[in-house]
Amino acid sequence: MNWKVILILLVLIVAVFSYVSSLSGPYAPMGRLGFVKILNPDMSPGNPHSTLAAKYAKDRGSNTVLVVHLAGHRSGYPNYWEGDVYIMELGFIDKQRGYSTKVDWGDVIQGFLFGQASDRYDYVSDGKIFHNLDDALAYLDKKAAQNGQVGPRLMFWHGTVRSDNPIINQGCGLPLYYQICDHYYGRLGAYYYVITGIIFPYLNSPYRNFELMNSAQLQYDYNHGLLGTLEVD
């Protein structure tokens, strides 16, 4: 059999497996939400990325979203309402590397192939610190139920990049997105959802061209405290 046919069949098998697994899991992994920050405060009611996440949810019959982040501090990351969609946030605190937005490709490959040590991260949501992923996810389960979850819980990694090329650097939150996908859907499912998640904003985000074409200026404005209200066509 031609190797190209074998490769296509393998991709189809992984895709079908991942889709079927997601039907019984608590999250529908979607992918990357944004490329760069376009308005401060980020991920708060009315922010373009926040309203975009809510629109994605409503278009798919959901009222609950999880956005995951690389945490720059041990407080905050509040859950909140964007209209009638409940936005949950979860940040991971890397106890090994500390807070760094630079890509360590050796670390990326290690994590992608073998996963990360279970004690490497702490997690924060609503200002509460959790020392393992199970406790953090249990807290989010409770919050979703308390706030009347309807339909699937969509999951995104925030994806914004402060200084690097936002096409190469996949931005804020990808390791945690991968970890949660691995937790619920296994390693093959995690690979599938990361690959489709990287493609997702190129096909779906109405801000894609604006963010990528103006990324250097937006990053400069953010890093120098100049990022304010922007009108995005």
Closest by Cα among 32, 34, 38, 41 to 214: 38
Q: Is residue 189 included in any domain, yes or no?
A: yes
Q: Whole-model pTM above 0.85?
A: yes
Neighbours of 161 (CB within 10 A): 25
Q: Is residue 233 included in any domain, yes or no?
A: no
Closest by Cα among 192, 191, 201 to 170: 201
Q: Is residue 230 included in any domain, yes or no?
A: no
Looking at residue 40, what is its pLDDT? 84
Q: Is residue 174 included in any domain, yes or no?
A: yes
- List per-residue pLDDT tens for the chain, 233 residues long: 566 555 555 555 555 555 555 556 799 999 999 999 998 888 999 999 999 999 999 999 999 999 999 988 777 899 999 999 999 999 999 887 766 666 676 776 777 777 777 788 999 999 999 999 999 999 999 999 999 998 889 999 999 999 889 999 999 999 999 999 999 999 889 999 999 999 999 999 999 999 999 999 999 999 888 887 644 43
Q: Which long-range contacts (CB under 8 A, 24 or more apart) does 163-169 make?
A: 163/101, 163/219, 163/223, 164/101, 164/102, 164/103, 165/215, 166/35, 166/36, 166/211, 166/212, 166/215, 167/35, 167/212, 168/103, 169/101, 169/103
Give the domain range for residue 183. 3-223
The answer to whether residues 37 and 211 touch, using CB atoms and an 8 Å cutoff, is no
Q: Is residue 228 included in any domain, yes or no?
A: no
Q: Is residue 78 included in any domain, yes or no?
A: yes
Q: How many domains does the chain have?
A: 1
Q: Is residue 135 included in any domain, yes or no?
A: yes
Q: Is residue 59 included in any domain, yes or no?
A: yes
